[in-house]
Structure 1
Amino acid sequence: MGVAAAKEIQVLARLIRESARTLALTGAGISTASGIPDFRSRGVGRWEKVDPMEVSSVQAFQRDPAAFWRYNLKWWLEFADAEPNPAHHVLATLERRKLLQGVITQNVDGLHVRAGSQTWEVHGHLRTCRCLGCGGRYEFTFLVEQFQAGKNPPRCPCGALLRPDVVLFGDMLGDAFEQAVQVLHGCPLLIVVGSSLQVYPVAALPRLARRLVIINRDPTPWDDQAALILRGDIVQVFEKLAAELGFSD
């Protein structure tokens, strides 16, 4: 990572130690080391190849639910085999050591929850699904088993369609986002990790914090507001941060 990056790690560790309260805001970039492709990185992002409004929106689901599931379930199932990587685990350790209050995440992969972090999943998650008719809730595996048995689109026992408990394009954000706004308001330090900060309203959250650190491969619209920017590999950044703070898990 070089000498300059090492100095940046020292600054980051100092900012965390001195902050009365710190939160993290994470995006897809933190999970790429777990084998989950991101969405907006130049040349490799999923949304560079396809318009999300055409395949992953409320409108797409309503227009052709079977096509919606054929496209989306294939890559959502990749999350099932993914494991938290060292960056997820270091964030959870920071929380256990009272250096981090919790993680606000745009990710639906559930890896922060599995790593042990207190997590506000503002775009939902893939642990459950719900019925658009009776409102019943089921484990996501209930839906997956139907699809894999050839039943597409998957349905509730009442006959109505099932949908994932994720925020689709065109959806309103739910309670987790409102909770994140409340917990973040006036926060002394926000560490943004692996987010392009391009998807609103989540991209506006940094304005609620007093000080901002950005750890991301590519530039973001908030870079000129950040007290510190780290461009290194995210896992390496957190491994070196853990060493600087005196722990390695």
Structure 2
Amino acid sequence: MEIESIAQDKSAESVRAVDRALDILLAFKGADGGLTVADLLKRVDLSRPTLYRLLHTLEKKEFLISSGDPQRFRLGPSVAQLAHSWNAGLNLAEVAQPAMQRVWEATGETVALFVPEGLMRLCVAEMPSQQALSFRRGVGYRERLVLGASGRAILAQIEANIELDSYAAGLEIDLQKCRAELAKTRKRGFAVSRDELIVGAVAIAAPIFDGASRVVGSLGIFGPTVRLPDSKVEEFGRYLIRETSAVSTSLGYHEKPSKVRP
């Protein structure tokens, strides 16, 4: 009985060590250029001897690397290996499916997931509305990013890094108005289009980000004008922000203060 108790104590101590090691790894944030022991002691509730012991173990397994004087620790190649394995196993449509289901049930309208593809966007998942009057485009549908809410929700997040002219080439688009709309989309967190690609249709869409803070898609709601007045558009837009934020978090995204939405 005493042997069993000793074994349980050792097992509990091992679990605590793992828990503390994970706390150390989670103490590192994207903006950190490296943390000293003093920095880490402010972020984790550990004694200095325990911290040093765990740092040595994590460095030995290449989850951390260190350099300089005073010694500064950074995330190591083992973390990158895990991140690569995790990213490789992600499927945006699968990750977004629970959010799509919730939006579909809450709104009763068609819900679709789009991903960027060069100058275009591609529909990779869609849940059509069951109402008699509804709009749908179907999985595989492609359209220019500069057109429609689901495209501009994506384009608004990359517009500063591209030449908008190339996205609008061959289209009769007022670039000044388009830039203003993209700025408005960034500010409120979702894009809106009315009667743009289909007369009588309203689209509302919000962007999705990955762990590298890149926009990887948009989730949109599509319905008729008669069911989506301005008040409903605003309500659904804010709801979409919450749901796409949850999807982004599942993809490893940590929202920066500058991207906080109303």
TM-score class normalised by the smaller sequence:
under 0.3
Higher relative contact order (CA 8 A, sep 6+): 1
Name the structure where helix makes up a greater proportion of residues.
Answer: 2
- Scaled by the length of structure 1, the TM-score of the pair is 0.22
- Scaled by the length of structure 2, the TM-score of the pair is 0.21
Q: Which has the larger radius of gyration?
A: 2
